[in-house]
Chains A and B, each alone.
Chain A
Amino acid sequence: MTLSDFTSFLMKNSKTIMEYSENHFTLVLLAVGISLAIWVPVGLLLTKSDKWAARVLALANTIFCIPSLSMFAILVTIPMFGLGRKSALLALVLYAMMPLIRSVYDGVKNVDRNVIEAARGMGMGTRRILIEILVPLGMPIIFAGFRITVVMTTGIAAIATYIGERNLGRFIQEGLIRSNTPMMVTGALIISAIAIGLDTILGLVEKRIVPKGLRISR
């Protein structure tokens, strides 16, 4: 395979690439959105109970261990889900459980207890402490979890092509079946570029998101 194979593939299939990319992003966006909506509140709630936190984190850890292809395969056999987007979404949301819950929990738990004690002593209510102290101070860790989730979801979403998603993973799948190397490599490169790009951009944001007071020292 040469560079010209690559560019000619890009030219010829630009429409398909657009379509697959769109599908890919829609799936990632949906999965990350749903995950945030569920796991962030769960993570926050768990900071209230160490006992439950240990249980839920252990569960999340276990789920996270399951190979992604296995996860898709298992969900597909469940009649309610089957082949298609429902299974794909559920799998991605389940994977996001570990990094999101863990980072929210760690982020909030890492906040200096004395700061919270002092804030409470000054008459700040629970809500205010959450909004003004816990979230901004926990943000660097929470955001790191978010970054991992986004990059991971982008990668795993590609595998969902095997359960019927028509996204960027399909180039790899089809390329393998048809021994079409340019197709396969192009697909792999596009996904890699997107993942690395997202990781880099979010990494930059992560550095900027640290509150100024924590970045500087004497």
Chain B
Amino acid sequence: MKWENFRFALFEKAPEALWEHSLIVVITITLAILISVPLGIFLSRPKFKKFGLVTLNILNLLQAVPGIAVIALALPILGLGMEPAIVALMFQSLLPIVRNTIAGLLGVSSDVKEAASGMGMSQRRILIEVELPLAVPIILSGIRTATVYVVSMGTLASLIGAGGLGNLIMGGLSLFRPEYLLVGAGLGALMAIFLDRMINYLEQRITPPSMGAE
């Protein structure tokens, strides 16, 4: 290992890769949340229970598809670049958020809901003032799972020209430059762990003390 290579990887290559990677993660997760949470709310309403089961099963199947296969399938359909990668990753990060949104909302005890409606709250108000706040920690936990996943699969997105830390790793592998590998892989790992810890911290902060951690 040479310091020269290491320095180059860390200071010349990494900033751009890290920026691209962050962009992929943030955009993907934002889109995933915007789609999944409303979808989860919709599917948790009693009227759509049956529909919810079907949707969950489909998402479950999608989730079983390995990330590398998703990336590979995205290329011929969506083309090269960052946008196709984001769309592909987003599809796969829906499941944990949708699933947790439904679980969180259904997990609110019916006593609480009944009490709220007994006080004269409408279904809408109950959703906004009672169910969602109580479900937020669980929804966040789903977002955490999805985020870690997107950081991880984001490294493969470089295969279809999306850039990101994957570029450093792939470059390192093909040229066999361990310095590139360490910088790319290390930053990827740190990013995933950091986001995981951060969202986990949020979860803990937001959980009412009586409900306990996790």
A158 in contact (CB, < 8 A): yes
Cα distance A148–B172 when bound, in Å?
30
A103 in contact (CB, < 8 A): no
A34 in contact (CB, < 8 A): no
The answer to whether A196 and B181 touch across the interface, beta carbons within 8 angstroms, is: no
Of A69, A71, A156, A159, most buried by chain B (CB within 10 Å of CB) is A69
Cα distance A58–B70 when bound, in Å?
29
On whether A67 and B66 interact (CB within 8 A), knowing A185-B73, A185-B76, the answer reads no
Which of A74, A155, A156, A172 interacts with B186 by CB under 8 Å?
Answer: A74
Q: Could you tell me which residues of chain B, from 136 to 175, have a CB within 8 Å of some CB in chain A?
A: 148, 151-156, 159-160, 165-166, 169-170, 172-173
A1 in contact (CB, < 8 A): yes
The answer to whether B66 and A65 touch across the interface, beta carbons within 8 angstroms, is: no
A181 in contact (CB, < 8 A): yes
Chain A residues with CB below 8 A from B154, complex form: 67
The answer to whether B72 and A67 touch across the interface, beta carbons within 8 angstroms, is: no
Q: Could you tell me which residues of chain A, from 42 to 70, have a CB within 8 Å of some CB in chain B?
A: 61-62, 64-70
On whether A70 and B73 interact (CB within 8 A), knowing A151-B64, A159-B156, A192-B65, the answer reads no
Of A162, A189, A192, A200, most buried by chain B (CB within 10 Å of CB) is A192
The answer to whether A70 and B68 touch across the interface, beta carbons within 8 angstroms, is: no
Cα distance A196–B172 when bound, in Å?
32
Chain B residues with CB below 8 A from A154, complex form: 66
A99 in contact (CB, < 8 A): no
Q: How many A-B residue pairs have CB under 8 A?
A: 132
Chain B residues with CB below 8 A from A159, complex form: 68, 156
Chain A residues with CB below 8 A from B152, complex form: 65-70
The answer to whether A196 and B155 touch across the interface, beta carbons within 8 angstroms, is: no
The answer to whether B193 and A65 touch across the interface, beta carbons within 8 angstroms, is: yes
Cα distance A163–B185 when bound, in Å?
14
Cα distance A80–B205 when bound, in Å?
42
The answer to whether B169 and A69 touch across the interface, beta carbons within 8 angstroms, is: yes
Chain B residues with CB below 8 A from A163, complex form: 173
Chain A residues with CB below 8 A from B75, complex form: 176, 181, 184
Tell me the nearest residue of chain B to A68, going by C-beta.
B152
The answer to whether A196 and B72 touch across the interface, beta carbons within 8 angstroms, is: no
Q: Could you tell me which residues of chain B, from 46 to 76, have a CB within 8 Å of some CB in chain A?
A: 60-61, 64-73, 75-76
The answer to whether A196 and B64 touch across the interface, beta carbons within 8 angstroms, is: yes
Chain A residues with CB below 8 A from B66, complex form: 154-156, 158, 191-192, 195
Chain B residues with CB below 8 A from A195, complex form: 64-66, 69
The answer to whether B186 and A70 touch across the interface, beta carbons within 8 angstroms, is: yes
The answer to whether B189 and A66 touch across the interface, beta carbons within 8 angstroms, is: yes
B133 in contact (CB, < 8 A): no
The answer to whether B76 and A162 touch across the interface, beta carbons within 8 angstroms, is: no
Tell me the nearest residue of chain A to B200, going by C-beta.
A61
The answer to whether A71 and B196 touch across the interface, beta carbons within 8 angstroms, is: no
Least Cβ–Cβ distance between B35 and chain A, in angstroms: 22
Least Cβ–Cβ distance between A53 and chain B, in angstroms: 13
Cα distance A70–B192 when bound, in Å?
11
Tell me the nearest residue of chain A to B169, going by C-beta.
A73
The answer to whether B72 and A172 touch across the interface, beta carbons within 8 angstroms, is: yes
8 additional A-B pairs beyond A70-B169, A155-B69, A195-B65, beta carbons within 8 Å, are: A67-B192, A69-B155, A76-B173, A159-B156, A162-B170, A185-B73, A185-B76, A187-B72
A-B contacts, 30 of them at CB < 8 A, read A61-B196, A65-B151, A65-B193, A66-B193, A67-B154, A67-B185, A69-B169, A70-B152, A70-B169, A70-B189, A70-B192, A74-B189, A76-B178, A76-B181, A77-B178, A156-B66, A163-B173, A172-B71, A172-B72, A176-B72, A176-B75, A185-B73, A187-B69, A189-B73, A192-B64, A192-B69, A195-B65, A195-B69, A196-B61, A199-B61
**Residues in B lying within 8 Å of A, measured CB to CB:** 60-61, 64-73, 75-76, 148, 151-156, 159-160, 165-166, 169-170, 172-173, 178, 181-182, 184-186, 188-189, 192-193, 196
Q: Which 4 A-B pairs have the closest CB atoms?
A: A155-B66, A70-B185, A67-B152, A73-B185
